[in-house]
Amino acid sequence: MVDLSQYLPILIFLGIAFALSALFVFLPMGVARLTGTHQPTDEKLSEYECGFPAFEEPRSQFDVRFYLVAILFIVFDLEAAFLFPWAVSFLDLGWAAWMTMMVFIAELVFGLVYAWKMGALDWE
Query: Residue 37 domain-assigned?
Result: yes
CA 78/CA 76 separation, integer angstroms: 5
Contact status, residue 111 vs residue 75, Cβ threshold 8 Å: yes
Q: What is the pLDDT of residues 6-18, one digit of tens each?
A: 999 999 999 999 9
The answer to whether the Cα torsion of 41, 47, 53, 56 is positive or negative is negative
By C-alpha distance, which of 76, 64, 60, 61 is closest to 120?
A: 64
Tell me what the mean pLDDT of segment 53-70 comes to.
72
State how far the Cα of 17 lies from the Cα of 95, in Å rounded to an integer: 41
In angstroms, the CA 97 to CA 91 distance is 10
pLDDT, tens digit, for every residue of 95-122? 988 899 899 889 888 988 888 888 877 7
Q: Calculate what percentage of the chain has a pLDDT beyond 90.
A: 21
Task: Give a yes or no: residue 48 inside a domain.
Answer: yes
Q: Report the C-alpha gap between 32 and 93 in whole angstroms.
A: 52
Residue 94 falls within a domain, yes or no?
A: yes
What distances in angstroms separate CA 8 from CA 1, 3, 5, 11, 106, one per listed residue? 16, 10, 5, 5, 45
Number of domains making up the chain: 1
Q: What is the pLDDT of residues 9-52, one digit of tens each?
A: 999 999 999 999 999 999 998 988 888 767 777 776 676 666 66
Q: What is the pLDDT of residue 13?
A: 97
The amino acid that residue 100 corresponds to is: T
Tell whether 124 is covered by a domain: no
The answer to whether residue 122 sits within a structural domain is: no
Residue 123 falls inside a structural domain: no
What's the predicted TM-score (pTM) here? 0.46
- Residue 69: which CATH number? 1.20.58
106, part of any domain: yes
Domain residue limits at 58: 5-117
Q: Does residue 74 sit within a domain?
A: yes
